[in-house]
Amino acid sequence: MTVKHFYETFHPGHYDLYIEVNREQKTIKGTTTITGEAIEDSIMVNQKYLTIASVTSEGQEVPFTVDDEKEAIKIDLGKTSKTEVEIKYSAPLTDTMMGIYPSYYTVDGVKKQIIGTQFETTSARQAFPCVDEPEAKATFSLALKYDEHEGETTIANMPEIKVEDGVHYFEKTVRMSSYLIAFAFGELQSKMTETKDGVKVGVFATKAHQAKELDFALDIAKRAIEFYEEFYQTKYPLPHSWQLALPDFSAGAMENWGLITYREAAILLDPDNATADQKAYVATVIAHELAHQWFGDLVTMKWWDDLWLNESFANMMEYVSVDALEPEWHVWDNTYQVSEVPAALNRDATDGVQSVHVEVEHPADIDSIFDSAIVYAKGSRMLVMVRALLGDDALRKGLKYYFDQHKFGNATGDDLWDALSTATDLDIGKIMHTWLDQPGYPVVSAKVDANGHLILTQKQFFAGEGKEVGRKWAIPLNANFVAPQIMSDRELDLGDYSDLRAKAGHALRLNVGNSSHFIVNYDETLMADIIAEVDDLKPVDQLQLLQDLGLLAQGNQISYAEIVPLLPKFADSDSNIVIGALFSAVASLRKFVTPDSDEEKNLKQFTDQLSSKQVERLGWEAKETDTADELQIRPTELSAALYAGNPAVIKAGHQIFVQNEADLIKIEASVRPYVLINEAKNYHSSELIERLVKEYQTAVDPYFKQDLMAAITSTQDKEDLKQIVDNFENNDIIKPQDLRSWYFSVLSNKQGEQLAWDWIRAEWAWLEKTIGGDMEFTSFITVTAKAFHTPARLEEFTTFFEPKIDQPGLGREIQMDTKVIATKADLVTKEQAVVNQKIKEAITK
Ligand code: BES
Ligand code: ZN
C-alpha cells in the first residue's frame, strides 16, 4: 500500500514560529508562518491536538478543514504556486513527555518545572503546524515567549539573537527536519567549553544537582565532536552543541540539532562515585546523540522505513568513538558484546520479528520500529560487518562522499551503498540487502562428513518454533582457517578436515571476534576440539561460546543440560566479560527450578560453588590494587553469592550498610545496589523499606535512585509489595519515566509477580493514557514476556493481550512476546528434569 505523504502536496521552505507558553494556565498559543511551494491546489499540513483559529494565505483567509484522524489540516489554496501560509492556533500544555511539556523536580523542598520538547517521531505537529515528515526540510526562525521570571534560561537549536518585549528571538536554523526542533526554559545551571574549532559546547541541568555532575558529560561531548569532525571529515555545522538533562524524559536521549536532550541518568554522573559501567553508559549515550548530528541531522533518512540510517549508524558510532576517546575502557568487549550482541541475537531469533529495513506509515507503527534490539543492536551489527569488510579508511572515504552529496538533505539506504561503493570493489549493497531486508539470521552448522570433508551449511535460526522459508544470507565467515571471506550459498565444502586442522594448528572456529551476525553449531568432533583449547581463547571468544550455546539450547539444537557441566571451566576467569557471561548463563537456569524446591537449593549451591572463591578473594570493598576487570567482576560475583545465600557475604554486606547508615549514597557505587538489596532481603523491616522509599523520593542522583528502587522492589514482604504497587500511579513517588523499571522489578520478584501482573491488567487503560503513544509503551509488554515462562502465565498473557492485537503499534509486539513465553514454557517442560539432574551432578563433584 502506498500512502500519500503530505510533502507531495506542499514543500515548505521556511517557517517563522511564534510560540507562547503559559505554565500557570497550562496553555500554548502560536502563529506559524510557512513560505513554500504548493504542489497541489489543496495542501496538507500536520497538526495534532491543536485548535486552529485561522488560516490565511498572503493576507487572505482561506478555507480549511481539520482532520484529526489524519493529524492534519487540509488547506484549500485553489492554486499551485509559491506561497505564504499563516496559521494561528492554541493547544493545551500537557504532561505527556511529547511535544512541548513540563518536567518536574524539587529544590530545597520547592516544586519547580522546566519546559522542554520532544518531537521525534511525530510530535512537532503538537507544538506547531508543519509538514512533519523527515523529507520536508526547511529553515526555522523561532520566537518564544513565556511567563518568564528572573533567573530563567532560554535555549534552542540556535543562539538567541535578541529579547524584545519578553520575546526571545533565535537565529534562523540551517535546513533541517521538523522532528529535530527543540527549545527549553527554566532555572538552569550550566557548564561551558569550546572545541578546538570554536564550537561552543555546554551541559545544562536543573539546580537540584551538584555542579560537578555536569563535568563528565562536558568533557566527553567536546571530545566526541572533535572526533566526529575528524572521522567524518565534515565540520559540525552549528555554532553550539547544548546537552540538556531533563527530569522527565521518555526515551534515553534525543538528538535535536544543537540542543540534545537527555534523561538525567543518561548524562549526569558523580565523578567521585561512579562505576565503569555508568561512565561507559553516559559516554556512549552522548556519543550516540552526537553521531546523529551528522547521521540523522545533517543527512536524514528520506522516510522512516530507513530509520536504520539514523539509529543503526549512531549505535555503531557510539562504540567507534568512545573506543577512540577512551581505549582503556574496551567498550567493544565490555559493553557492545555484553549488551548489544545478545539483545540482537535473542530478539532476532523469534519468528515474526521485523527486518531492520521495514515499511511503515502509521505514526504508532513508526514509533514501534524503534526496537532497541533490531534497528539499534542488529542494525549496528550490520554496520560492524560493513566496517570489517571495508576497513576504516574506505569507510571514511565513502562517508565523506555521502555527506558531501546529501548534506542538508535526505538519503535512502541505497544512497549509502552507492557512496560506499566509491571506496570499495565489493558489491556492498548486494551483501547488505540480504541482512537489512530479511528478518532473522543464520546458524551455520559445521560438521565433518563421512568423507572427512568439513561442510558448512546455513539455515535460519529460530528460538522455539519458526517457519523455514528458505532465507539465505551473504555471511562474512571470519574463519581462523582457510575459507572464503563470504559464504552466500546454502552449503560450502571446505575440503579435507585433517588438512585444514593441520595447517591451522588450532581448533577451527568461525565468526572469530563475534563481529558477524550469526551463530555456529559445531559437530561433536569440532566442539570437543574447541573445548580442549578453551583456556587459550580470548575472553570475547569464551563469551561467544557461552552465548551461542545458550541460543542453540533455546533453538532445541542442543540441550541446556550440555551447558551445565561446562560452566565451572569459566569460574576462575579474570575477565569481567567471561564472568558476566557465566553468571548470565547460570541465571538462565533459574527458570528450570520452582521456588523453595530441592532443585532451587541445588542451583543455589551450584551458584555458590561457582562464586565462592572469587567472592572470598575480592570481598565487598574495592582496593587500590584492583584491576579494571576486578572492579567489575566484584559486583557480579556478589550478586551471585547473594542469590546463593552465602552467609559470610550477607553478613559483611550488612556491616557495610550499618557503617554507612547515615549516608547511604556514599557507599561505593559498584556495590551499593547489592548492599541495599541485601539489607532489604535479609535484614528486612517495614521501617527500612519505608525509609528507602522516602530516600528515593528526595534523592537527586539518578544512579542512587536506581539502586534504591532495586532494593525496595526486592523485599519479600507481600504487604510492602502491595504498597509499592499502590504507588505505581503516584507520580510524587514514581515518575512515569521510571515506571517500567519499577513494574519489571516487582514482576521479577516471585513474591510480587502476581501483584504486578494484576496491576497492569487492571490499569491498562490508565497506562495507555499516561504512557501510550510513546516509544516506551510497548516495552511494558516486552518486559512482561521477559518475566514469564510457565504455561499458565502464557494463557493469561494471551487472554489479555490477544484482543489488542489489531491496535496500531501493538500487533507485532504481542505476537512476538507470545512466542517468547511459549518457547520458554516448552523448554522448561521438556528440559526441566535433565537440567536439574545435571545441576545435581555438578554440585556433588
Ligand atoms: N532518536 C532517538 C530517540 C527517540 C527514539 C526519540 C524513539 C523518539 C522515538 C535517540 O537518538 C536514541 O536513540 N536514544 C536512545 C539512547 C541511545 C543511546 C541508544 C534511547 O532513547 O533509548
Ligand atoms: Zn538514536
Together in a domain, 432 and 490: no
Q: Tell me, yes or no, whether 100 lies in a domain.
A: yes
pLDDT value at residue 159: 98
pLDDT value at residue 401: 97
pLDDT value at residue 82: 97
pLDDT value at residue 2: 67
Given a cut of 90, is residue 649 above it in pLDDT? yes
Together in a domain, 50 and 164: yes
Q: Tell me, yes or no, whether 158 lies in a domain.
A: yes
CATH of the domain at 506: 2.60.40.1910
Together in a domain, 37 and 143: yes
- Give 202-248 pLDDT, tens digit per residue: 999 999 999 999 999 999 999 999 999 999 999 999 999 999 999 99
Given a cut of 70, is residue 1 above it in pLDDT? no
Together in a domain, 1 and 119: yes
Given a cut of 60, is residue 523 above it in pLDDT? yes
Q: 845 falls in which pLDDT band (50, 70, 90)?
A: low
Quick check: is 264 catalytic?
no
Q: Is the CB of 289 under 6 A from ligand 1?
A: yes
**Domain housing 35:** 1-186
Together in a domain, 157 and 32: yes
Q: Tell me, yes or no, whether 170 lies in a domain.
A: yes
Q: Tell me, yes or no, whether 164 lies in a domain.
A: yes
* For the CA of 251, the nearest atom of ligand 1: 21
pLDDT value at residue 772: 73
Q: Tell me, yes or no, whether 591 lies in a domain.
A: no
Together in a domain, 399 and 452: no
Q: Which of 504, 519, 540 is the last residue of a domain?
A: 540
* HSE-CB for 706 with a 13 A CA cutoff: 16
Given a cut of 80, is residue 55 above it in pLDDT? yes
Specify the number of domains making up the chain.
Answer: 3
Together in a domain, 416 and 455: no
Q: Tell me, yes or no, whether 256 lies in a domain.
A: no
State mean pLDDT over 442-467: 97
Together in a domain, 179 and 313: no
Given a cut of 80, is residue 802 above it in pLDDT? yes
**Dihedral, CA of residue 626, residue 629, residue 631 and residue 634, to nearest 10:** -110
CATH of the domain at 21: 2.60.40.1730
pLDDT value at residue 844: 72
Tell me which residue has its CA closest to atom 18 in ligand 1. 285
Q: Is the CB of 775 under 6 A from ligand 1?
A: yes
Tell me which residue has its CA closest to atom 11 in ligand 1. 254
Q: Which of 514, 540, 566 is the last residue of a domain?
A: 540
The C-alpha atoms of residue 261 and residue 771 are separated, in whole angstroms, by 19
Q: Which of 524, 540, 556 is the last residue of a domain?
A: 540
CATH of the domain at 341: 1.10.390.10
Q: 777 falls in which pLDDT band (50, 70, 90)?
A: confident
- Give 371-394 pLDDT, tens digit per residue: 899 999 999 999 999 999 999 999
Q: Tell me, yes or no, whether 115 lies in a domain.
A: yes
State mean pLDDT over 443-463: 98
pLDDT value at residue 501: 97
Together in a domain, 431 and 454: no
Together in a domain, 404 and 492: no
| From 71, 289, 599, 776, the catalytic residue | 289
Tell me which residue has its CA closest to atom 13 in ligand 1. 311
Q: Is the CB of 339 under 6 A from ligand 1?
A: no
Together in a domain, 493 and 514: yes
Q: 674 falls in which pLDDT band (50, 70, 90)?
A: very high
Together in a domain, 430 and 535: no
State mean pLDDT over 524-544: 97
State mean pLDDT over 722-734: 96
Q: Tell me, yes or no, whether 335 lies in a domain.
A: yes
Long-range contacts from 123-126, C-beta under 8 angstroms, 24+ separation: 123/48, 123/98, 123/99, 123/179, 124/46, 124/99, 124/178, 124/179, 124/181, 125/46, 125/47, 125/48, 125/50, 125/71, 125/178, 126/48, 126/49, 126/50, 126/91, 126/98, 126/99, 126/100
* For the CA of 250, the nearest atom of ligand 1: 21
Residue 112 CA, chain-centre distance (Å), reads 29
Q: Is the CB of 340 under 6 A from ligand 1?
A: no
